[in-house]
């Protein structure tokens, strides 16, 4: 007999972590290709954040900031579509998340001077800004996902059988019922 308390209940810390991580995973990592889409989005965010900030460009392309925001929006939409559980909703939320993250980092780079002595701290400031910028898109996905109803297994099966029946009739085949 053990004197340890009953640990079957989920604690506050675990619920809080689940609340933070689960919507992100359902948005970008529900399917395997979503990880690659998010990787491309992260690379574009890291490259574009310097390009949109005057005086910090790596390559002088002289593109307006709107071009970078458009590229980031498209990358976020593709990453959400590739990795989301609900593809079209994830595509919209991924675009919102990407623009939010890009804008947060661009504001940080534009308004806060970079000090060479604290490079490691500066990296964490950028990571925190990226995470904060992702919140609106991930939150949008979480809210919309909870508001939209999911069909029950019986309804989904009935729709699948009706779709199969229509396909068989279109091809001139008999129904195997």
Radius of gyration of the chain (CA): 22
Token pair, residue 57, equals 């460009």
- CA 106, 108, 111, 112 torsion: positive or negative? negative
Q: Give the pTM.
A: 0.71
Listed by start position, the domains of the chain span 12-150
Which residue, among 52, 44, 150, 146, has the nearest Cα to 97 in the 3D structure? 44
What is the predicted pLDDT for the residue at 175?
65
- From first to last of the 177 residues of the chain, give the pLDDT tens digit: 455 555 667 777 778 777 778 888 888 888 888 888 888 888 888 777 777 766 666 667 777 878 888 988 998 899 888 888 888 888 999 999 999 998 888 888 778 776 666 667 777 888 888 888 889 998 998 888 888 877 677 877 888 888 888 888 888 877 665
Instruction: Give the length of the chain.
Output: 177
In whole angstroms, what is the distance from residue 135 CA to residue 90 CA? 14
In whole angstroms, what is the distance from residue 148 CA to residue 158 CA? 20
Distance of CA 172 to the CA centre of its chain: 44
């Amino acid at each position: 007999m053990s004197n340890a308390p009953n640990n079957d209940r989920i604690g506050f810390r675990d619920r809080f972590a689940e609340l933070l991580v689960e919507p992100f995973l359902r948005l970008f990592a529900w399917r395997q290709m979503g990880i690659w889409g998010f990787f491309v989005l992260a690379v574009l965010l890291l490259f574009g954040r310097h390009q949109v900030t005057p005086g910090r460009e790596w390559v002088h392309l002289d593109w307006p900031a709107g071009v970078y925001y458009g590229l980031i929006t498209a990358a976020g939409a593709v990453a959400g579509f590739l990795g989301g559980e609900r593809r079209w909703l994830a595509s919209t939320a991924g675009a919102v998340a990407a623009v939010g993250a890009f804008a947060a980092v661009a504001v940080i780079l534009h308004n806060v001077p970079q000090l060479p002595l604290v490079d490691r701290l500066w990296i964490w400031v950028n990571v925190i800004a990226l995470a904060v910028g992702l919140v609106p898109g991930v939150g949008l996905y979480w809210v919309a996902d909870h508001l939209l109803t999911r069909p029950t297994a019986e309804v989904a099966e009935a729709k699948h059988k009706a779709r199969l029946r229509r396909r068989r009739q279109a091809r001139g085949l008999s129904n195997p019922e």
